[in-house]
């Protein structure tokens, strides 16, 4: 495999096609930029030749830091590789990053799985008579978990954004991925109207109704607006807001008992007045 290290201008390095990992301006990016400012780029980027340009396979964050600092060139290991080889290296070099979003894993796993299938690679584990390529995707997660992440790529973007934001949990999101695009659009409308997201049990019921051809907009709304056991209406008052009304050292439980006692006395006094 032909390869060599050379200095390349950052603007001659084009991002990898359909790169699934985001470049976030966060504390980690700030730390990397300061490290590059102080010590330079210690580990060469990985790229492959693309005519007069180079396609970046690994090192997108280091390239971004170099551009931010105005560096004229960056060290890069230039290697000739096929599309599938480039995808696998790109995914593997990024999967070790901390705090990856579910959507980043989902599309990265999908890209690597497709590349492995193109290469004819699979593991010896048999599922319904077929070897399962998904077992080769991650060193940290099982093939089943990988396949569940890949299911998320079937979600419409607004729903997938809610997964990334933590508004919809991973397991319900996997179940919702089986809904048609039209059904997902209806679900989004209901979420917007009610400011509520599906629980796992609700998502499972929606999936079953969808498989039966019975998931109408009315059915989606009815399932979503069911009262969840952990979402019954509650009144919450911050302890700090109540502290000044009680002796120092009172626990939250003592304050709650005292408040309920006062309310009970007020309730009884009001009813006694009504009876006169």
- Per-residue pLDDT reduced to its tens digit, 70-80: 999 999 999 99
* Mean of pLDDT values over 13-31: 90
User: What's residue 121's pLDDT?
Assistant: 59
Give the global pTM.
Answer: 0.73
- Per-residue pLDDT reduced to its tens digit, 139-182: 778 889 999 999 999 999 999 999 999 999 999 999 999 999 99
Query: Which of 94-103, 109-118, 164-173, 234-243 shows the highest mean pLDDT?
Result: 164-173
Distances (CA, A) of 81 to 13, 16, 58, 90, 115: 16, 13, 13, 12, 13
CB-based contact 116:131 (threshold 8 Å)? no
Domain boundaries, the chain: 3-81, 101-154, 156-234, 235-265
Residue 35: its H or E element: helix 27-39
- Per-residue pLDDT reduced to its tens digit, 181-226: 999 999 999 999 999 999 999 999 999 999 999 999 999 999 999 8
Q: What is the 3-class SS of 180-237, one letter each residue?
A: CHHHHHHHHHHHHHHCCCCCHHHHHHHHHHHHCCCCCHHHHHHHHCCCCHHHCCCCCC
Residue 157: its H or E element: helix 157-164
| Greatest Cα pair distance in the chain | 99
Instruction: Tell me the pLDDT of the chain averaged across its residues.
Output: 87
pLDDT level of residue 124 (50, 70, 90 thresholds): very low
Residue 263: its H or E element: helix 252-275
Going by C-alpha positions, the residue among 86, 77, 10, 82 that lies closest to residue 43 is 77
Strand-pair category, 53-58 with 13-14: parallel
Domain 3-81 has CATH 3.90.1530.10: yes
Q: Of the ranges 8-17, 48-57, 170-179, 244-253, which one carries the lowest mean pLDDT score?
A: 244-253
């Amino acid at each position: 495999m032909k390869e060599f290290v050379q200095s390349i201008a950052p603007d001659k390095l084009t991002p990898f096609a359909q790169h699934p990992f985001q470049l976030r301006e966060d504390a980690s990016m700030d730390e990397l930029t300061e490290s590059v400012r102080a010590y330079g780029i210690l580990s060469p980027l990985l790229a492959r030749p693309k005519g007069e340009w180079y396609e970046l396979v690994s090192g997108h964050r280091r390239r971004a830091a170099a551009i931010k600092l105005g560096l004229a060139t960056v060290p890069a290991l230039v290697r000739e590789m096929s599309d599938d080889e480039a995808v696998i290296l790109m995914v593997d070099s990024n999967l070790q990053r901390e705090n990856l979003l579910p959507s980043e894993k989902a599309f990265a796993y999908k890209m690597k799985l497709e590349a492995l299938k193109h290469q004819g690679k699979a593991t010896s584990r048999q599922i319904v008579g077929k070897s399962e390529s998904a077992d080769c995707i991650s060193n940290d997660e099982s093939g089943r978990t990988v396949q569940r992440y890949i299911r998320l790529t079937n979600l419409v973007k607004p729903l997938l954004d809610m997964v990334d934001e933590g508004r919809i949990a991973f397991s319900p999101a996997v179940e919702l991925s089986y809904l048609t695009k039209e059904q997902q659009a209806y679900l989004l409308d209901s979420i917007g109207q009610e400011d509520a997201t599906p629980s796992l049990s609700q998502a499972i019921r929606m999936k079953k109704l969808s498989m039966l051809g019975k998931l109408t907009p009315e059915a989606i709304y009815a399932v979503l607006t069911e009262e969840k056991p952990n979402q019954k209406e509650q009144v919450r008052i911050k302890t700090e807001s109540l502290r000044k009304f009680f002796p120092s050292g009172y626990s939250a439980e003592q304050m709650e008992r005292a408040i309920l006692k006062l309310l009970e006395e007020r309730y009884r006094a009001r009813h006694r007045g009504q009876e006169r």
